[in-house]
Amino acid sequence: MKAVLVDEQTKMLVLGEAEEPTIGAGELLVEVKATALNRADLLQKRGHYPPPPGASTILGLEMAGVVVEAGAETEGWQPGDGVFGLLPGGGYAARVSLPAGMAMRIPDALSFEEAAAIPEAFLTAYLNLVELGGLGAGQTALIHAGASGVGTAAIQIARELGARAIVTAGSEAKRQAALALGASLA
């Protein structure tokens, strides 16, 4: 299958061939329609962020696509379902094995490209604001780097929860972007 690979000699990204992924119980085989680029991908390319043991060495930690095959113990998923998710690697390939526990259905209102841009930033922001921080309606969150990927996601999550977002930003343009997303103060 086609995949974007890191050339070992030049460290440049090249289009090449990779082995088709296989799936086991609890995994989905997904035809990738869109992927995203984030800081972890850049660090991995430079050799500063190794993939976890057993993960694909192909870059790409988030993607969106269509389920081709659903392994055992993936109740509710079937071929043809639109899916997006965070994965340990492989998102820059034509097909990827995605743990079903990291898979989310693509809402009808989103394109593959829009869905692929969500997992890393929004799940990081949600985990920290809601799961760990317990943010809810009427509360206030201080969000540093409000114009970053995670920062813009955090502003939108706070807004949707009915919380107030106070944001730091490094320039007037970034401050205005944060305010446009719903920050109460930037």
Q: pLDDT for 127-186, tens place per residue?
A: 999 999 999 999 999 999 999 999 999 999 999 999 999 999 999 999 999 999 999 999
Domains of the chain: 2-112 (3.90.180.10), 120-181 (3.40.50.720)
pLDDT at position 47: 85
CA 77 – CA 180 distance, rounded (Å): 37
What single DSSP character describes residue 129? I
CA 115 – CA 167 distance, rounded (Å): 25
pLDDT at position 8: 85
The label of the residue with tokens 């996601």 reads 153
Task: Write down the pTM of the prediction.
Answer: 0.86
Residue 49 has pLDDT above 90, yes or no: no
What single letter denotes the amino acid at residue 162?
G
How much of the chain, in percent, has pLDDT values that exceed 70? 100
DSSP, collapsed to helix, strand or coil, labels residue 35 as strand
Kindly state the average pLDDT of the residues 48-72: 93
Residue 52 has pLDDT above 90, yes or no: no
What single DSSP character describes residue 171? S
Higher-pLDDT residue of 38, 156: 156
pLDDT class of 46 with cuts at 50, 70, 90: confident
Strands (E), the chain: 2-6, 13-17, 27-35, 62-70, 82-86, 95-99, 103-105, 140-143, 164-167
